[in-house]
Chains A and B, each alone.
Chain A
Amino acid sequence: MSEGHSTYSPKTGLGRWFDARMPLPRLVYDSFVAYPVPRNLNYMWTFGGILSIMLVSQIITGIVLAMHYVSDTSLAFGSVEKIMRDVNSGWLLRYMHSNGASFFFIAVYLHIFRGLYYGSYKAPRELLWVLGCIIYLLMMATGFMGYVLPWGQMSFWGATVITGFFTAIPLVGDWIQQLLLGGFAVDNPTLNRFFALHYLLPFMIAGVVVLHVWALHVTGQNNPTGIEVKSKTDTVAFTPYATIKDAFAMVVFLLVFAYFIFYMPNYLGHPDNYTVADPLKTPAHIVPEWYFLPFYAILRAVTFNIGPIDSKLGGVLAMFGAIAMLFILPWLDTSKVRSAVYRPWYKLFFWLFAANAIFLGWLGSKPAEGWYIPAMQISTLFYFAFFLVVLPVLGLIETPRRLPNSITEAVLEKNKAGSGHPAGAAAAPETKG
């Protein structure tokens, strides 16, 4: 949707001076003021902005926490408790940071499911989607290493289990694990390098976010109809329309975030992590943070050998394969229609997939015993079948509903259907003809 030409004209002498030398104001104006966005974007399109402020919030609280934290196995746990009790406002900053990680993931999951529902990953937005997947991977690495830093029982054993994945690799697995740990078990070298990397990765995320936004501004946003923008009447200016909508959604999101920080700051954490790490005692039941649970269930679903692949390598491959599915998704979906709004069968399978993902997450929090194991296996099977069978086949056999000719037509049709409320039309600028 980049119209190719800029409408920015500096009003002041200083503005013209800058524009001739380094046109940063022009870039900002073209990207966030005059930039045309589809007029029918709903609130599911506000999570990009929410994720941006969550990243900034995590970086700022993280830098401040790093001023009080010590990455030494004998001091780390104590330094975190010191932040909680002695450092002025330390408790607030740490709760903002630890709950911020969770809310970052809540927002990113809603953002991902939005993309899945409305087919935002389809041509020409494949690269935009893949860049998003890279950000998600970096987020997982950052979240995992951040959870190790307080040096509690879950920190230590989570690190042990996750670095243990690499020992499943034939021949070089043990070497790679020792390279990651800097020793034969999780210890001081591990904690130090995780701290350094935990500090680095958010800035790499910020770098990929720039590429993600760049790619977005080349192709333009998808929208609930999945139809490309065809004329000027299909769009509104980013400012004020999208800016205000994003800002309002941020306020609501931050209210929920604040509720967790102030009223249930440990709800998303695990009590075992308030016990200092003990390398000689494994907690009765190791669970990762909630946002890894679906993948943890997939890891544990493989309890059998598959030919030459033993169950351990099989589980690790299934887990990484589950993430790899997201990367190749744009080339698995054969349907030309983007939005689930016009795909009755896809809509059904999408909601089944979403329910299955939540069920996998719930299973991930349960011990690997009894009926949980076959449930994990069936759920894992459906997870992969959605990508490898449902998406390719559905595009070939499904009859989509009739698509409107344009975004404007879709909006006006919807408005006509609800014409009993003329006041509503005045409050909804996107429906003005």
Chain B
Amino acid sequence: MSASDETHDPNRRDFLYIATGMAGVVGAASVAWPFIDQMRPDASTLALASVEVDVSSLTPGMSLTVKWRGKPVFIRNRTPEEVKAAQDVKLEDLKDPLARNANLGSDATAADIDRSAGKGKENWLVMIGVCTHLGCIPLGQQGEYGGWFCPCHGSVYDTAGRIRQGPAPENMAVPVFSFISDTKIRVG
């Protein structure tokens, strides 16, 4: 077919060409999506029963680890010395100045009061015990600041779970939690 023949019926040919092409693109994209979508967390993973924890047995200086969303949550009744050490840190000395506390706004600062369970419960620290570097579980009451130390790549956290040294970029995350009574915490 020569070039001049093609000009005989440009409208029908162009229409078929474009329509087929568009159907192909839209079709491929809509077929591809379920194959990607199935990889996301499924309903049973998302149906997160919140965990209720009895913390009445935790005297100052004791910790508890509970599993939530497949990850460990550290609940620590901090000693007055630990609270004091965390409160004395100046904000400008922190690598990450944000609280990373899901119970507060995203702009809350990493002052100790906003990392802890709040006024009157400053001794309580609840956080996801996962190093913000590459997801290892830090070891408690170790490292230079007497907080947590990640054995994988050497990140050091202080007694408020704030990153002080090493490759981790953020403070350990505080999950949504609340005291449902004086001795019970609900995580999630």
Question: Which A residues form the contact surface with B (CB < 8 A)?
Answer: 157, 160-161, 163-165, 167, 178-187, 189, 193, 279-286, 300, 302-303, 310-313, 315, 367-369
Contacts and interface: CB of A to CB of B under 8 A. Distances in A.
Interface string B113-140: 0000000000000000000111111110
Contacts of B72: 279-280
A284 B154 CA distance: 11
Given A184-B69, A284-B151, A368-B153, A179 B40 contact: yes
Contacts of A165: 134
30 contacts: A157-B136, A160-B134, A161-B134, A161-B136, A164-B135, A167-B134, A167-B135, A180-B39, A182-B45, A183-B45, A183-B69, A184-B41, A184-B45, A184-B71, A185-B70, A185-B71, A187-B45, A189-B42, A279-B67, A279-B71, A279-B72, A282-B150, A286-B136, A286-B152, A300-B167, A303-B167, A311-B169, A312-B132, A367-B154, A368-B153
B40 A164 contact: no
B168 interface: yes
Contacts of A186: 70
B134 A164 contact: yes
A182 B36 CA distance: 11
B113 to A, nearest CB: 26
Interface of B: 36, 39-42, 45, 65, 67, 69-72, 132-139, 150-154, 166-169
Contacts of B36: 179
B135 A161 contact: yes
Contacts of B137: 280-282
A165 to B, nearest CB: 7
B41 to A, nearest CB: 5
A160 B150 CA distance: 14
B154 A368 contact: yes
Contacts, number: 93
A222 to B, nearest CB: 40
Contacts of A182: 39-42, 45
A161 B135 CA distance: 6
A282 B67 contact: no
B173 to A, nearest CB: 11
Nearest to A279: B70
Nearest to A163: B135
A313 B167 CA distance: 10
A189 B167 CA distance: 29
B141 to A, nearest CB: 15
Nearest to A177: B135
Contact of A185 (B39, B42, B69, B154): B69
Contacts of A302: 167
Contact of B151 (A178, A185, A285): A285
A303 B168 CA distance: 9
Contacts of A283: 151
Contacts of B45: 182-184, 187, 189
Contacts of B152: 157, 161, 282, 285-286
B130 to A, nearest CB: 8
B86 to A, nearest CB: 23
* A-B pairs with lowest CB-CB distance, top 6: A164-B134, A185-B70, A164-B135, A282-B137, A161-B134, A282-B136
A186 B72 CA distance: 12
A226 to B, nearest CB: 42
B49 to A, nearest CB: 14
Nearest to A178: B41
Given A184-B71, A300-B153, A315 B65 contact: no
A139 B136 CA distance: 25
Contacts of A189: 41-42, 45
